[in-house]
A and B are shown apart, each in its own frame.
Chain A
Amino acid sequence: MSTVTFSVGAGARFGPRTGSVTLQRHASPTTLTIPTPGLMVATSRGVVPHLSRDQHKRTHPLRWVHVPFETFLENSPPTPTLQPGALPLHTFLGFSPDSHLVSLTLRDPADPRDVPANGNAYVTAMTARGVKKVTPDQWRTYVRACAPDVVVALPDVPYTPPPFSQKRTTKSIDRTAAWLANLLAPASEPLSILVHMAGGISVAARRAFAESLTETLHGKEADAVRPHTCLDHGVAGYIFDLVPLRRAMDASPDAVHAPAARADETAELFKASLTPVAPAKLRVVNSAASPHEILRLVRTVGVDVFDAKWAQDAAHVGVALDFVFPIQNSRTAGKQRDLGHNLYRAQYAHDLSRFADSNPGCPCGACAPVAPAAAISHSVLDAYAPPAAALLPPYTRAYLHHLLHTHEMTAHALLVMHNLAVVDAFFAGVRGVLHRGEDFGAEVDRFVGEYDEALAVVDEARAMWKDVDVARGKGRMARERIEADAPE
């Protein structure tokens, strides 16, 4: 059906690296190439929040789409598994076979909520209709029925309250390896599999898990994953979820919180996982919280793909990102710069400039809107008249400020397109520095010094977003009634 390959330049096992993910559909002459380090776009209920399907083709950073499956468990059998056609998941969700690589994972990697414990033979997932158990056999069935381009093998990651005993960690390692083997069962169509690197916050456990992947299998165990001789042979790459890792780190008695120290600890854990396995396979990280965290993981470990959830979340609360890597002009003095603009702020009410100063050439649908080349004709009399110039003026901060305060959904559609473009340009900047052989580490240090890593601007926007949502959003009438009825 399709082949996903990853190629990375030769070099050290750890450290910044460039490469590319290539998707070749056997039925199509087009090849989709995703340069790395690069981004994948997070989805909720199978869609990119705030974007309608017709916006996909205008949203160029949308190449790799990561889809958590658990919401589909609300129906049995899950709806996408019933979708007719060759690429059911693409078809059902509206992603284009030629332009979009779709990866499938069971659980939403960004969901930090507690979930009842997994069992020996199942993972517990969350749906809008409560908790559902998924066995490795079911997962394989769903994956085969959906035909994603890349699939994450079922991991045993506990979402019960940490800390975890050594016994629990051992169980996690064993189950994750066994469930990977289940997905590797011989089949006519091989899967492109990412394995979740188990072991929690224990360096020893991580190393043990990774080593178990490389052990040569014999007898029945080997038959079960033929033609592979060890589990590591069967995987396309490795995936790391930062949300459960942070949960476990926070609960640890010797937790460190400073971003740089946290980054060092994370890098040590990742390296423990990656030391025993094949160095030239894809490395994917979910839920990096900032470009700072991304840069450190690129620099120290050599991670290839990151989700853009943090930037999508910023769009959701009204922040237009405005930063660039490598930085062009350092601030002269004073406090660090924000990574973007909280467009709820009163200062933007009359600001008719484009969203981002650092990205004047931003090609997104908000900064470089393009008039449609054609429009639907509803009668023989209708004649669409395109404007003289297809490229239209950028949307302004003042307009977005207005849309945000009036609770108009259009604001978030424009911001999602923009923020994804800024993150895409950021990764292009990272690759540029690496390709040109410049001092990547020094550029990272400059960036970290320049921009606020705490993303205070997003916290501020979230508070204002919440106020407007309460005042003007869903349930407003009911809230007003309660207020009106309340005794003085």
Chain B
Amino acid sequence: MAQFELLARCHTTRARVSKLTLAHGVTMLPTFMPVATQAAIKGLTPQQVDALGVTLILNNTYHLGLRPGIKVLSEAGGAHKFQGWNKNLLTDSGGFQLVSLSKFTTITEEGALFESPFTGEPTMLTPEESISIQHAIGGDIIMQLDDVVASLTPDRKRVEEAMERSVRWLDRCIAHHTLSGRQDTQNLFAIVQGGLDFELRDRCLTQMVERKNSVAGFAIGGLSGGEEKDIFWQIVRQCTEKLPEDRPRYCMGIGFAEDLLVSVALGVDMADCVFPTRTARFGVALTHQGPLNLRLAKYAKDFQPIDATCPCPTCTEGTSRAMLHHVITRETAAAHGKLSVTLHNIAFQARIMGGARDAILNGTFPDYLRTFFANYFDAYPEWCVNALRSVGVDLVGEGSNVKVVPGSGAKWE
């Protein structure tokens, strides 16, 4: 099983630094995982991703199961070899996409019944089948199949049913994974469900933590579905509080810089999101001063790089905002602009997480948070202030004249 070693803890918050050793090398946590849905980070080669200092990426089981299909992946010797990626890889269970992408999905106790997008045939994805597919893909971290409901589902009965079923499905995943004898190379993570309901979350946590010895880590699922941010952080906090110290914690589907840093402060070790790569394709570059929308005319004659201090290839080669503005939206050359900003944004995510690792190690993480927020926001999102206050970091402090805004407070340009 994976080796998980805690290296340091923040003296104030719940943040921690750890070393996760998997079959394809070491990944230092906390970390952000870029998403390679279809076995490629949009537009980049694995060598480019490797050079960015990324050691763990995500593939989507649902997509790879459809294309190229398990047979091709098996023939190629697994997804690592198929896509030429020799660092760590995480695959999701496919459950989330079944609900979000597929029409006519019916969840039964046996599994998720859906219409195959290829043949139109009714197809059943069971917990065992999900694990088998993930075995064929060969990810270093594999996820249990969970019963996913939208985080804003009003029907508590349905949320409760989904949570209880996710626990039962975890048992089936554990059993199937154990039988396979692949625990040495592939590590199963449980996914905590229970919606936005503290009581349901607590029951789920209790049951899943009981199975701790059969899982390598825990994910916090069922969030990032448009819920109030003030609820989001409280659920994350509740989960990290109860999850065991000696297992990595993965908060699924978050990617905004403030979400990442608040989650890290609450004790999260891993996160993934398509946001940095997707927003790059729309011409938005992430910086410590907030996102830059390179499509805006004000960048047409701006010869600075996106960020002069950034170590990514786009910035170190001196690519100017003006040049990116020139190519980003025009069809024939758009790929060049998209790739340049994608490289930058992946490096940006890695950089804020790497900075967090150093700060936690040096005992300066609260300062790191304060500096980040001061640079990034003109007005602080209230939920971030509340969340960080709950772990002992006061962003605004006595006599501060920083503006605090309710709502998500996410920054756009």
Q: Within 8 Å CB of B410, what residues of A?
A: none
B47 contacts A369, C-beta separation under 8 Å: yes
Question: A338-366: which have CB < 8 Å to B?
Answer: 349-350, 352, 365
Instruction: Tell me which of B328-336, B381-389, B395-403 binds A.
Output: B328-336
Q: Within 8 Å CB of A411, what residues of B?
A: 40
Q: Within 8 Å CB of A47, what residues of B?
A: 327, 333, 336
B76 contacts A376, C-beta separation under 8 Å: no
A381 contacts B317, C-beta separation under 8 Å: no
Q: Tell me how far the C-beta of B155 lies from the nearest C-beta in chain A, rounded to whole angstroms.
A: 27
A372 and B51 contact, Cβ closer than 8 Å, known pairs A94-B323, A352-B75, A410-B42: yes
A91 touches B (CB below 8 Å): yes
Chain B residue with minimal CB distance to A416?
B335
Q: Within 8 Å CB of A79, what residues of B?
A: 300-301, 322-323, 326
Question: A151-209: which have CB < 8 Å to B?
Answer: none
Question: B340-365: which have CB < 8 Å to A?
Answer: 340, 343, 347, 350-351, 353-355, 357-358, 361
Q: Within 8 Å CB of A378, what residues of B?
A: 53, 350-351, 353-355, 357
A381 contacts B50, C-beta separation under 8 Å: no
Q: Within 8 Å CB of A369, what residues of B?
A: 45-47, 84
A402 touches B (CB below 8 Å): yes
How large, as a class, is the contact surface on chain A? 35 or more
B332 contacts A44, C-beta separation under 8 Å: yes
Q: Within 8 Å CB of B72, what residues of A?
A: 349-350, 398, 402
**What's the Cα separation between A401 and B332 when bound, in Å?**
22
B314 touches A (CB below 8 Å): yes
Q: Tell me how far the C-beta of B81 lies from the nearest C-beta in chain A, rounded to whole angstroms.
A: 7
**What's the Cα separation between A128 and B329 when bound, in Å?**
11
Q: Within 8 Å CB of B76, what residues of A?
A: 352, 396, 398-399
A84 touches B (CB below 8 Å): yes
Chain B residue with minimal CB distance to A384?
B53
A49 contacts B332, C-beta separation under 8 Å: yes
A48 touches B (CB below 8 Å): yes
**What's the Cα separation between A52 and B354 when bound, in Å?**
25
B68 contacts A398, C-beta separation under 8 Å: yes
Chain A residue with minimal CB distance to B51?
A372
A50 contacts B336, C-beta separation under 8 Å: yes
B81 contacts A414, C-beta separation under 8 Å: no
Q: Tell me how far the C-beta of B84 lies from the nearest C-beta in chain A, rounded to whole angstroms.
A: 6
A62 touches B (CB below 8 Å): no
**What's the Cα separation between A413 and B75 when bound, in Å?**
24
- Please classify the interface of chain A as helix (H, G, I), strand (E, B), loop, or mixed, using the class held by over half of its residues: loop
Q: Tell me how far the C-beta of A152 lies from the nearest C-beta in chain B, rounded to whole angstroms.
A: 20
Question: B1-54: which have CB < 8 Å to A?
Answer: 7, 17, 19, 25-26, 28, 38-48, 50-53
**What's the Cα separation between A93 and B333 when bound, in Å?**
12
A52 contacts B48, C-beta separation under 8 Å: yes
Chain A residue with minimal CB distance to B29?
A381
**Count of interface residues, chain B, beta-carbon cutoff 8 Å:** 66
A395 contacts B84, C-beta separation under 8 Å: yes
**What's the Cα separation between A426 and B271 when bound, in Å?**
47
**What's the Cα separation between A84 and B320 when bound, in Å?**
11
Q: Within 8 Å CB of A82, what residues of B?
A: 301, 303
Residue of A376, A379, A398, A410 touching B311 (CB-CB under 8 A): A376
Q: Tell me how far the C-beta of B274 lies from the nearest C-beta in chain A, rounded to whole angstroms.
A: 14
A371 touches B (CB below 8 Å): yes
Q: Tell me how far the C-beta of A53 lies from the nearest C-beta in chain B, rounded to whole angstroms.
A: 5
**What's the Cα separation between A92 and B30 when bound, in Å?**
37
A370 contacts B81, C-beta separation under 8 Å: no
Q: Tell me how far the C-beta of A112 lies from the nearest C-beta in chain B, rounded to whole angstroms.
A: 14
A448 touches B (CB below 8 Å): no
A83 and B303 contact, Cβ closer than 8 Å, known pairs A44-B333, A53-B317: yes
Chain A residue with minimal CB distance to B352?
A378
Instruction: Tell me which of A97-105, A224-232, A269-277, A385-393 binds B.
Output: A385-393
A381 contacts B17, C-beta separation under 8 Å: yes
Q: Within 8 Å CB of A398, what residues of B?
A: 68, 72, 75-76, 82
**What's the Cα separation between A53 and B76 when bound, in Å?**
30
Residue of B17, B48, B326 touching A72 (CB-CB under 8 A): B326
B312 touches A (CB below 8 Å): yes
Residue of B301, B314, B343, B358 touching A379 (CB-CB under 8 A): B358
Q: Tell me how far the C-beta of A379 lies from the nearest C-beta in chain B, rounded to whole angstroms.
A: 4
**What's the Cα separation between A322 and B41 when bound, in Å?**
27
**What's the Cα separation between A138 and B48 when bound, in Å?**
40
B178 touches A (CB below 8 Å): no
Q: Within 8 Å CB of B71, what residues of A?
A: 350
Chain B residue with minimal CB distance to A83?
B303
By Cβ-Cβ distance, the 5 closest A-B pairs, closest first, are: A378-B354, A45-B333, A54-B313, A409-B43, A372-B51
Known: A46-B323, A410-B41. 17 other contacts (CB 8 A): A47-B333, A49-B333, A52-B48, A52-B343, A54-B343, A75-B300, A369-B45, A376-B347, A379-B357, A379-B361, A380-B361, A381-B17, A398-B72, A406-B63, A408-B40, A410-B42, A413-B335
Residues of chain A at the chain B interface (Cβ within 8 Å):
44-55, 71-72, 75, 79, 82-84, 91-94, 128, 349-350, 352, 365, 369-372, 374-385, 387, 392-393, 395-396, 398-399, 401-403, 405-406, 408-414
21 contacts between A and B (CB under 8 A): A50-B336, A52-B48, A53-B340, A54-B48, A84-B303, A94-B318, A349-B72, A371-B86, A376-B347, A377-B354, A379-B355, A381-B358, A393-B81, A393-B84, A398-B75, A399-B39, A403-B40, A408-B42, A410-B41, A413-B44, A414-B45
